[in-house]
Amino acid sequence: MIPENEQEILIKRLGKRIRELRHEKGISQRELALECEFEKSNVSRLEAGRVNPTYLTLCKVAQALKIEVVEIFKF
Protein backbone atom coordinates (compact mmCIF):
# COMPACT_ATOMS: atom_id res chain seq x y z
CA MET A 1 0.00 0.00 0.00
CA ILE A 2 1.20 3.50 -0.82
CA PRO A 3 1.71 5.69 2.28
CA GLU A 4 -0.76 8.58 2.55
CA ASN A 5 1.87 11.30 2.08
CA GLU A 6 3.06 9.63 -1.15
CA GLN A 7 -0.54 9.37 -2.36
CA GLU A 8 -0.92 13.11 -1.92
CA ILE A 9 2.27 13.73 -3.91
CA LEU A 10 1.07 11.50 -6.75
CA ILE A 11 -2.34 13.20 -6.88
CA LYS A 12 -0.67 16.63 -7.02
CA ARG A 13 1.64 15.45 -9.83
CA LEU A 14 -1.36 14.10 -11.71
CA GLY A 15 -3.16 17.43 -11.38
CA LYS A 16 -0.07 19.32 -12.51
CA ARG A 17 0.19 17.06 -15.56
CA ILE A 18 -3.45 17.70 -16.48
CA ARG A 19 -2.81 21.45 -16.21
CA GLU A 20 0.28 21.14 -18.44
CA LEU A 21 -1.66 19.19 -21.06
CA ARG A 22 -4.50 21.70 -20.97
CA HIS A 23 -2.05 24.58 -21.46
CA GLU A 24 -0.40 22.74 -24.37
CA LYS A 25 -3.83 22.50 -26.01
CA GLY A 26 -4.45 26.20 -25.36
CA ILE A 27 -7.77 25.79 -23.60
CA SER A 28 -9.07 27.35 -20.39
CA GLN A 29 -10.31 25.55 -17.31
CA ARG A 30 -13.81 26.70 -18.23
CA GLU A 31 -13.51 25.17 -21.72
CA LEU A 32 -12.21 21.90 -20.29
CA ALA A 33 -15.02 21.85 -17.76
CA LEU A 34 -17.63 22.37 -20.49
CA GLU A 35 -16.15 19.57 -22.62
CA CYS A 36 -16.12 17.20 -19.64
CA GLU A 37 -19.51 18.33 -18.32
CA PHE A 38 -17.86 19.33 -15.01
CA GLU A 39 -18.13 22.49 -12.97
CA LYS A 40 -15.11 24.77 -13.45
CA SER A 41 -14.40 24.49 -9.72
CA ASN A 42 -14.00 20.71 -10.15
CA VAL A 43 -11.34 21.23 -12.83
CA SER A 44 -9.59 23.68 -10.55
CA ARG A 45 -9.56 21.17 -7.66
CA LEU A 46 -8.41 18.40 -10.00
CA GLU A 47 -5.48 20.45 -11.30
CA ALA A 48 -4.55 21.57 -7.80
CA GLY A 49 -4.34 17.95 -6.66
CA ARG A 50 -7.09 18.34 -4.09
CA VAL A 51 -9.17 15.40 -5.38
CA ASN A 52 -8.35 11.83 -6.32
CA PRO A 53 -9.99 11.43 -9.75
CA THR A 54 -11.74 8.28 -10.85
CA TYR A 55 -10.76 6.46 -14.02
CA LEU A 56 -13.96 7.72 -15.66
CA THR A 57 -13.01 11.31 -14.81
CA LEU A 58 -9.57 10.81 -16.35
CA CYS A 59 -11.17 9.29 -19.47
CA LYS A 60 -13.40 12.36 -19.86
CA VAL A 61 -10.41 14.69 -19.44
CA ALA A 62 -8.37 12.72 -21.97
CA GLN A 63 -11.24 12.73 -24.47
CA ALA A 64 -11.70 16.48 -24.04
CA LEU A 65 -7.96 17.04 -24.56
CA LYS A 66 -7.98 14.64 -27.54
CA ILE A 67 -5.27 12.45 -26.03
CA GLU A 68 -4.96 8.87 -24.79
CA VAL A 69 -5.47 8.41 -21.05
CA VAL A 70 -1.91 7.07 -20.70
CA GLU A 71 -0.56 10.53 -21.64
CA ILE A 72 -1.91 11.89 -18.35
CA PHE A 73 0.37 9.53 -16.45
CA LYS A 74 3.56 10.57 -18.23
CA PHE A 75 4.94 12.78 -15.47
Number of DSSP helices (H) and strands (E) in the chain, helices first:
4, 0
Could you tell me if 11 and 49 are in contact, meaning their C-beta atoms sit under 8 angstroms apart?
yes
Q: What is the pLDDT of residue 2?
A: 84
**Dihedral sign, CA of 40, 42, 47, 53?**
negative
Q: What is the pTM of this model?
A: 0.93
CB atoms within 10 A of CB 16: 14
33-71 pLDDT, tens per residue?
A: 999 999 999 999 999 999 999 999 999 999 999 999 999
Domain count, the chain: 1
Domain region containing 21: 4-73
Q: Assign residue 43 the CATH number of its domain.
A: 1.10.260.40
CB atoms within 10 A of CB 32: 24
Q: What is the pLDDT of residue 35?
A: 96
